[in-house]
C-alpha cells in the first residue's frame, strides 16, 4: 500500500457542485499539506496542518476548505466548484524531525 493515498484519482464534476478530495497516510507524520499543480505554475499551497487541531491557509485558499479528521486523514473540499479549479491536486506529509515531503499520486479534477 502507498504511504500517502489520495482518492479519487480522477474526477469530473459540474460547476457549482460540492466535492471532497481525501488523503490518508500511513507514515505517522504529523504534518499534512494540500497543493494544486497547474501547467507552468508549479505547486501552490492551498492549506496545511501541523497537527489535528492546527489548520492554516496557504497562498491560494479561497474557494477551498479542509478538515483534519485524524492525524492520518486530511480532506480538501471545494464548496462550489468552478472551472478554474480544474487542476492536479496533491496531498503531502512531513515530519517535524525530517525534511522531505512524501506526496500522494494526485487527484486530477476537472470542473465542467
- For the window 59-78, what string marks contact with another protein as x by the rule CB under 8 A? --------------------
Question: In this complex, which beta carbon is closest to another protein, that of residue 33 or of residue 64?
Answer: 33
Given 7, 14, 28, 41, the residue binding another protein (CB under 8 A): 41
The Cα 72–Cα 82 span in angstroms is: 28
**Strand ranges inside the chain, DSSP E:** 4-7, 10-13, 19-25, 31-38, 42-51, 54-57, 64-70, 73-78, 87-94, 102-103, 107-111
Given 51, 98, 110, 112, the residue binding another protein (CB under 8 A): 98
Q: Rg (Cα) of the chain, in Å, rounded?
A: 13
Q: Does 31 bind another protein (CB under 8 A)?
A: yes
Residues 6+ apart with CB under 8 A from 70: 52
Given 13, 61, 86, 102, the residue binding another protein (CB under 8 A): 102
Site residues (CB under 8 A) for another protein?
Answer: 4, 31, 33, 35, 40-45, 48, 58, 90, 92, 94-106
Amino acid at each position: 500500500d502507498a504511504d500517502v493515498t489520495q482518492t479519487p484519482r480522477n474526477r469530473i464534476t459540474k460547476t457549482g457542485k460540492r466535492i471532497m478530495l481525501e488523503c490518508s497516510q500511513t507514515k505517522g507524520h504529523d504534518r499534512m499539506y494540500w497543493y494544486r499543480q497547474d501547467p507552468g505554475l508549479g505547486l501552490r499551497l492551498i492549506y496545511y496542518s501541523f497537527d489535528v487541531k492546527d489548520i492554516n491557509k496557504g497562498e491560494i485558499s479561497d474557494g477551498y476548505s479542509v478538515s483534519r479528521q485524524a492525524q492520518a486523514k486530511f480532506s480538501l473540499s471545494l464548496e462550489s466548484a468552478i472551472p478554474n479549479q480544474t487542476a492536479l491536486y496533491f496531498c503531502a506529509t512531513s515530519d517535524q524531525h525530517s525534511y522531505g515531503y512524501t506526496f500522494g499520486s494526485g487527484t486530477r479534477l476537472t470542473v465542467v
